[in-house]
Amino acid sequence: MRILITGAGGMLGFDVRRAVDGAGHEGLALTRAQLDITDTVATADTVRDARPDAVINCAAWTDVDGAETHAAEASAVNGTGAGNVAAAAAAAGAWLVHVSTDYVFDGAKPQPYVESDPVDPMSAYGRSKLEGERAVAAAAPEAHTIVRTAWLFGAGGKCFPKTILRAAAQRPELTVVADQVGSPTFTGHLAPALVELAAQRVPGVLHVAGAGRCSWYELAVAVVAAGGVDCPVRPISTDEYPLPARRPANSVLVSERGAPALPDWRLGLKDFMSEPAEVSA
């Protein structure tokens, strides 16, 4: 199978490239410099000329707080850009796997979120990603899989565990939010599932995230312990650490549709820590 990867220079794209190669498929990995998905014509031409069997869209505006003051830019990538990729894939006869987020929910539900739960994003970033979901469904109604995932971390880019490891090596104490819970997801585990879904062509929305649940505080404690760093971590509330964008209090995702099951987030952290060169970057 020939798979085109957009956003291949990002953290998730890094592992999707490896997963495509590992599965024995033919991959065409395009970074943002090689393809700006906000350019409708360039996207259509590039996908047409590549003649892929499937497209995995990893291109995204990921600066959650920055989206609050750059909502139009976030929407151009996460909304319009996603629709451009979907339209181009559909025109080329390719199946699209598009990556979305837990931030399309408001976090008020006490139980884990499933695919059929109503969406209600709290932030500009979440609204832009929901816009992308709708654009994908409209542009490729019969040929898309939308994968909602959560709390991504991986070897190929900036992420929470790397930030915690650096901070723990420099500070006498860390304070981390304890009243937001979610499903930490290692991109090294998510990427093969995206490739699998590209081959299976499962239509509609699927939740694919690391198994289990924890708070940011619990994740930070686990990261510090895994890194062997002697630094205490103290829990604080969201109110004590205000940020421009509101985050859902509950971001735990599970699937009611039989989506591929990923390993527990603790195993994801263990596998992440086994890549010391990338982890220290």
Percentage above 70 pLDDT, the chain: 98
Q: Are 154 and 11 in contact (CB under 8 A)?
A: yes
Question: How does DSSP assign 92-157, residue by residue?
Answer: TT-EEEEEEEGGGS-S--SSPB-TTSPP---SHHHHHHHHHHHHHHHHSTTSEEEEEE-SEE-TTS
* Contacts of 91 by beta carbon, 8 Å cutoff, 6+ apart: 44, 47, 48
Q: In which band, very low, low, confident or very high, does the pLDDT at 280 lie, cut at 50, 70 and 90?
A: very low
Q: Are 118 and 28 in contact (CB under 8 A)?
A: no
Would the pTM count as exceeding 0.85? yes
Q: What is the tally of structural domains in the chain?
A: 1
Averaged pLDDT, 33-51: 98
Percentage above 90 pLDDT, the chain: 98
Q: What is the mean pLDDT of the chain?
A: 96
Query: Does 232 map to a domain?
Result: no
Averaged pLDDT, 55-60: 98
Nearest in space to 138 (alpha carbons), one of 96, 201, 199: 96
Q: In which band, very low, low, confident or very high, does the pLDDT at 275 lie, cut at 50, 70 and 90?
A: confident
Query: Does 85 map to a domain?
Result: yes
- pLDDT value, residue 281: 45
Q: Above 90 in pLDDT, residue 278?
A: no
- pLDDT value, residue 194: 98
Q: CA dist 180 to 104, 121, 191, Å?
A: 15, 15, 25
Q: Above 60 in pLDDT, residue 134?
A: yes
* Contacts of 158 by beta carbon, 8 Å cutoff, 6+ apart: 11
Catalytic residue check, 125: yes
Q: Are 246 and 97 in contact (CB under 8 A)?
A: no
Q: CA dist 136 to 27, 139, 183, 270, Å?
A: 22, 5, 24, 34
Distance CA 28, CA 257 (A): 30
- pLDDT value, residue 276: 57
pLDDT in tens, 188-215: 999 999 999 999 999 999 999 999 999 9
Catalytic member of 113, 125, 217, 241: 125
pLDDT in tens, 214-257: 999 999 999 999 999 999 999 999 999 999 999 999 999 999 99
Query: Does 246 map to a domain?
Result: no
- List the strands of the sheet with 250-251, edge to edge: 214-215, 181-182, 250-251
Q: Find the angle CA(38)-CA(123)-CA(178) to the nearest 5 degrees.
A: 130
Here the CATH number for the domain that contains residue 142 is 3.40.50.720
Query: Does 37 map to a domain?
Result: yes
Residue with tokens 């994968």: 147
Query: Does 233 map to a domain?
Result: no
Distance CA 255, CA 188 (A): 19
Q: Above 60 in pLDDT, residue 149?
A: yes
Domain of residue 194, residue span: 2-158+185-211+252-263
Q: CA dist 13 to 145, 156, 236, Å?
A: 17, 8, 33
Query: Does 27 map to a domain?
Result: yes
